[in-house]
Amino acid sequence: MEQTEASELDHLRKLNAQLEKDIAHVIRHDQLTGLMNRTSFVTEVDQIMSKADYSTTNAAIIEIGISGIPRIAGSLGRHVADYVISALAARLNAIKDQNSLCCRLDYWSFAIFIPLIHDPLEALTTAKSVIEALSVPVDWVDRPLKMELGAGVALTVEGQHQAIELLEKAGLALKSATEKNGAGYAFFNPALAQIAMRRANVLQALQESADQHQFSLDYQPFYCTKTSELKGFEALMRMNHAVMGTISPAEFIPVAEESSLITKLGAWALAEACREATNWPSHLTVAVNISPEQFYSGNLITDVYNALELSSFPAYRLELEITEGTMLKDSEMVMSQLSSLRDMGCAIVLDDFGTGYSSLSYLWKFPFSKLKIDRSFVKALEDTHLVRGMLRSIIDLARNLGLKTTAEGIETPDHVAVLKEFKCDYIQGYLTGRPAAQTDLAAIILKNYSSQLRDQPEAARNSVAAMHTTLQAP
């Protein structure tokens, strides 16, 4: 009897020990991939580095980011995305050095800790080999699923041996490596930390400015190339923070897109541009740039509708400018929204044409109203004659497809002469008009209208006074 009870107690102890072991494993590991989770990874890396002497050697953390997981989850389902992540994790675990640690940081990123490096190039070599191994397509049923991967490498420096610091640096290096094309690898350098701090400050300023309505719109005119008649304005967002002062759109727009604030700012810009344009003569249009994030938010159709309704602004006078990059992530979803906007009566403009890799494919997939030729083509006219042929071909192509063309970046009379020769429809740039504040628009409109009437009958000139009254009305 006593022997039986002892045996049962021993069995219970073993079960309890196994249960504790299983619980500890669950706590320390990612349930999908079986890799260490972030918390246990940081703890173990700190323990290893606290016992090491890095006076003549280094340790490194490599953060690996996977592009395309949200796209796979959206098109094929979350279970397929999970399968891809599991497959990549298994590859990573198989190729890592036995002394290295690897973990799953979040939904689409991993990290590797290399405890001992004699030459920094060892870490870079490891990063490259990992990217090559994980970039091999993952087979799912009857299709290969290819991923784009990037890697950020951070090395220990004297006096800084903490896992959290290394992870932050590796993350900044990864962002630097992938922000242009989604793939690549890079070492951390102190300049990246300064950039990150500036971004953080800009983000805070954005949030404050959004709450306190510290944004405004400038308007850059564009003209008919043939007649020099004013045809409309492009609305350009401006930010003037109380502490940081004027911040360039080239800086604050990317930060707004990363933080999803661009959806709120974009809705405001649409409403403000339509409200202002109701004060203009009825033949003038207003163009508003639309960020890719506004399409992905699901609010764009409502935002456009509300902007038009609140100002009673006719949809045919609103041009929505998008870049080719907008359609690269989820072209079907974007195309569907573009079709709805076109059905509402809005004009859809393909901006920065000629800078992407597959612009031509979109011209027959969707009936755009206009192409805006990237300013780089106009600028290059001064450098090489080869660009003349390319520019002429783009304009001829658009004309054959029934599309209007606008050339940006016009800065010299020679630019105008070339574009007139090529029969480009509209021109926009510093030569014809810099971006102007709302208070200056009446003068621009009246000046152009007056110049157009110089050769017109006296009866037509009398309408200037009526237009002046309309433009000055509150």
Q: Residue 224: what pLDDT?
A: 95
Residues 229 and 174 in one domain: no
For residue 454, is it within any domain? Answer: no
Beta-carbon contacts of 183 under 8 Å, excluding residues fewer than 6 positions away, are 67, 131, 148, 149, 150, 177
pLDDT tens-digit series, residues 273-316: 999 999 999 999 999 999 988 998 889 999 999 999 999 999 99
> Cβ distance 202 to 251 under 8 Å?
yes
For residue 226, is it within any domain? Answer: yes
For residue 47, is it within any domain? Answer: yes
Residues 231 and 121 in one domain: no
For residue 37, is it within any domain? Answer: yes
Residues 217 and 360 in one domain: yes
Residues 154 and 41 in one domain: yes
CATH code assigned at 236: 3.20.20.450
Residues 419 and 294 in one domain: yes
Distance from C-alpha of 381 to C-alpha of 374, rounded to nearest angstrom: 12
Residues 176 and 205 in one domain: no
Q: 276: domain range?
A: 199-436
> Cβ distance 319 to 232 under 8 Å?
yes
Helix%, strand%, coil% for the chain, nearest 5: 55, 20, 25
Residues 128 and 224 in one domain: no
CATH code assigned at 111: 3.30.70.270
For residue 453, is it within any domain? Answer: no
Residues 143 and 179 in one domain: yes
For residue 361, is it within any domain? Answer: yes
Residues 125 and 207 in one domain: no
182: left (phi over 0), alpha (psi -120 to 50) or beta: left
138-to-66, 129, 213 alpha-carbon distances in Å: 13, 17, 48
pTM: 0.73
pLDDT tens-digit series, residues 110-128: 999 999 888 888 888 889 9
Question: With the CA atoms of 310, 312, 318 and 321 taken in that order, what torsion angle do they form, in degrees rounded to the nearest 10?
Answer: 10
Nearest 5 degrees, angle CA 393-CA 396-CA 398? 110
Residues 91 and 215 in one domain: no
For residue 194, is it within any domain? Answer: no
> Cβ distance 167 to 42 under 8 Å?
yes
Q: Residue 460: what pLDDT?
A: 47
Residues 389 and 240 in one domain: yes
Distance from C-alpha of 202 to C-alpha of 254, rounded to nearest angstrom: 10
Q: Residue 159: what pLDDT?
A: 63
Number of structural domains, the chain?
A: 2
Residues 148 and 206 in one domain: no
> Cβ distance 424 to 395 under 8 Å?
yes
Each of the 474 residues of the chain gets a pLDDT tens digit; together they read 556 666 666 656 666 666 666 566 677 888 889 899 999 999 999 999 988 888 788 899 999 998 878 778 877 888 998 999 999 999 998 888 888 999 999 888 999 999 988 888 888 888 999 999 998 999 988 788 888 889 999 998 876 678 899 999 999 999 888 876 667 888 888 888 888 889 889 999 999 888 888 899 999 999 999 999 999 999 999 998 888 889 999 999 999 988 889 999 999 999 999 999 999 999 999 999 999 889 988 899 999 999 999 999 999 999 999 988 787 666 778 888 999 999 999 999 999 887 765 557 777 777 789 999 988 888 888 777 788 888 999 999 999 989 999 999 999 999 999 999 999 999 999 999 999 999 999 999 998 887 777 656 554 455 545 545 555 554
The residue from 154, 188, 222 where one domain ends is 188
The residue from 188, 223, 254 where one domain ends is 188
The residue from 188, 222, 244 where one domain ends is 188
For residue 418, is it within any domain? Answer: yes
Q: Residue 101 is which amino acid? A: L
